[in-house]
Amino acid sequence: MKINREILTTAGILIIIAVTPLIFHENSYTMHLLIMSMIWAVAATAWDLLLGYGGIFNLAQVGFFAIGAYATGMASIHLGISPWMGLLLGAVASGLAGVLIGLPCLRLKGIYVALMTLAFFEVIGPLIVVGINLGTGGKAGLFPIPPFRLGSYVFNTDELLPWYYLCLILLAICLFITYKLIHSMLGLSFTALRDSEPFAQSLGINRFKSALVVTAIAAAMTGLIGAFYAHYVVVISPRMLGLDMFLFLLIMIIFGGAARFPGPVIGAFVITFLDDMLRPLDSYRLLAFGALMVIMIMLLPNGLMGLVAKINIPLFGKRDTEAEMLNPDIPKTY
C-alpha cells in the first residue's frame, strides 16, 4: 500500500483515539462522547462514500442505521442470539435493505434516488410503530438489549474501556474498507461516473452494478455500527429516526469535507463535542447548526480537509495525485 496523506491522516486519527483513554479513562462522560463520536464517524464515512464519492443521493442512511440496530435488538431479545452474531446480522440486514431500495431506483436519475430513499427513510419510523406485534417494541422502543460477552466478562456501563476499544476496532475496519473501496477500480470508476457519465460509459463501466455494490457496502457498514449502538445504549426507539441524527451526520460530512477521506471522521468528533458544548443553548443550538451548515457549504465547500489541502502542510507530504483524481474540485477539461 502506497503511503499517502489519506493513510497518514487516518492512521494518525486512529492512534490518537487509541491513546486518548490514557488521559480520559476515568472521565466516563468524555469516554461516552468519544464512543458516540466513533459511532457517528462510521455512519458519516459510509454516507460520504455514497454522497461525496459516488454522487448517489441516498438519503436513507439513518434508516439503515436503525435497521441494523433493530435487527440485532429484536434477534437478541426475542431469539436470544449472541450480540456478536447480532453485529453480523445488523450488517447483513442493512446490506440487504440497501440492495432492495437500490434495485428499483439506482437505474434512474439521481433525483429519483434522493426522492425514493427519503420517502423510504420516512416510512421506516411508522412501520416500526405499527409493527409492534412483530416485536419491534412500537413507539416505546426495545429494552433492554443485552450486552456483549467475552468469556465470562460481561460488557457493562460502569466500564466503558471495552466498549471503547471494540468500537475503535469496528471504526478501523470500516475505514479500511472505505479506503480500499475509494481506491479500487470500483471507486475510480465511480468518480469517473460522477464527473462524466459518457466518459465512464466509454470505459465500459456499468453504473448500475457499481452503484448497487457501493450502496450495499455502505448500508452494511452503517447497519454494523447501528447494531453496536443498540447494544451500547441498551434501549432503541423510533425516535432515532428523527431529523436530528439525519442532519447531524450530514453536518459532520460537510464540516470534515465531503469526498475528502477521512474528513467525515474528523467532522464526527468535532460536531459531537461541539453539540455537547452548545447544549445549554437548547433549541437555538439546532438553529445555529442549520446556519453553520449553510455557511460551511457557501464558504468552505470542501470542509476542514479541503482547508488542510489548501494550506498543504509539508508534514503530510506532497499532494497525492491519485487522491487528487478523486477530488471534485479539479478543473474539468472539455
Partner 1 sequence: MSLNDLIEILISGITIGLVYFLIAVGFSLIYGVSRVLHLSYGSFFTWGAYLAWIFAVKLNFNYFWVFVLVCPILYIMGMALERFVVRPLRKRDNFDFNVLLAGLGVALFLDYAAQAFFGARTKSLPSLLDGTIQIHDFVFSYQQLTMLAAAVVIAFALWFFLEKTRQGLALGAVAQDPVGARIVGVSLNKVYLLTFGISTILAGSAGILLAPRFFISPLGGWKFLIKALIIVVAGGLGSIRGTLYSAFLLGILEALVGWLFGLLWVMPFWFLALLLILLIKPHGLLGSTADH
Partner 2 sequence: MLDVSNLNTFYGQFQALHDLSLTVEDGQMVALFGPNGHGKSTLLKTICGLIEASSGSIKWNNTELAGLSSEKIVQMGVIYIAEDRHLFPEMTVMQNLKMGAFNLSARSSEAETLAYVLDIFPKLKILRNKPASTLSGGEARMLAIGRGIMSKPKFLAIDEPSIGLSPKLREEVFLKINEIRQSGVSILLVEQSSEEVAEMADYLYLMEDGHIVFKGHTNDALKDENIKKIFLGTG
Which of 169, 325 has the CB closer to partner 2? 325
Which of 2, 332 has the CB closer to partner 2? 332
Q: Give the one entry of partner 2, partner 1, none that residue 334 binds, where binding means its C-beta sits below a cut-off of 5 to 8 angstroms depending on kind.
A: partner 2
Q: Give the one entry of partner 1, partner 2, none that residue 165 binds, where binding means its C-beta sits below a cut-off of 5 to 8 angstroms depending on kind.
A: none
Which of 81, 115 has the CB closer to partner 1? 115
CA-CA distance, 60 to 216, in Å (whole number)?
Answer: 12
Instruction: List residues binding partner 1 (CB under 8 A).
Output: 51-52, 55, 57, 104, 107-112, 114-116, 118-120, 122-123, 126-127, 129-130, 243, 247, 250-251, 254, 258, 283-284, 286-287, 289-294, 296-298, 301, 328-329, 332
| Distance of closest approach, residue 192 Cβ to partner 2, in angstroms | 17
Q: Give the one entry of partner 2, partner 1, none that residue 51 binds, where binding means its C-beta sits below a cut-off of 5 to 8 angstroms depending on kind.
A: partner 1
Q: Give the one entry of partner 1, partner 2, none that residue 227 binds, where binding means its C-beta sits below a cut-off of 5 to 8 angstroms depending on kind.
A: none
Find out whether 305 and 256 touch, Cβ atoms under 8 Å: yes
Q: Give the one entry of partner 1, partner 2, none that residue 38 binds, where binding means its C-beta sits below a cut-off of 5 to 8 angstroms depending on kind.
A: none
Per the DSSP assignment, residues forming a β-bridge with 159 are: 156
* Contact code string over 295-334 relative to partner 2, x by CB under 8 A: ------------------------------------xxxx
| Distance of closest approach, residue 176 Cβ to partner 2, in angstroms | 36
Three-state SS for 331? coil
The angle that helices 283-299 and 243-256 make with each other, rounded to 10 degrees, is 40
Please count the helices (runs of H) and the strands (runs of E) in the chain: 15, 2
Interface with partner 2 in residues 165-194 (CB under 8 A): none
Which of 116, 168 has the CB closer to partner 1? 116
Q: Give the one entry of partner 2, partner 1, none that residue 126 binds, where binding means its C-beta sits below a cut-off of 5 to 8 angstroms depending on kind.
A: partner 1
Instruction: Give 75's DSSP letter.
Output: I
| Distance of closest approach, residue 195 Cβ to partner 2, in angstroms | 13
* Binding positions for partner 2, rule: CB under 8 A: 331-334
